[in-house]
Amino acid sequence: MRILYLLLAVLLVVLQGVAGQPLIPNTMHTCSLRRGVCRYGRCPVLYYQIGSCGAVRSSCCVRYDTRKWHEF
């Protein structure tokens, strides 16, 4: 009987850590955290793709840093 209480305590600790995490990650939120923009289709000129936004044929795009181009 004591082992059931121990297992219940361990289960509650494990579930408490998982409570804040969604089962399906929000890829649009992940894209914005990476300083990207979700676009349908391919990324426009001066942007490059760093991932997808979950929808069909949508891309997470980030703008090239053109300030670095002037260093050459």
Its pTM surpasses 0.85: no
Distance CA 61, CA 43 (A): 6
Q: Which domains does the chain have, with CATH numbers?
A: 26-65 (3.10.360.10)
Number of C-beta neighbours around residue 32 at 10 A: 14
For the chain of 72 residues, list the mean pLDDT of each consecutive stretch of 10: 82 67 70 89 91 84 76 54
pLDDT value at residue 60 = 92
Strand ordering across the sheet containing 47-52: 37-40, 58-63, 47-52
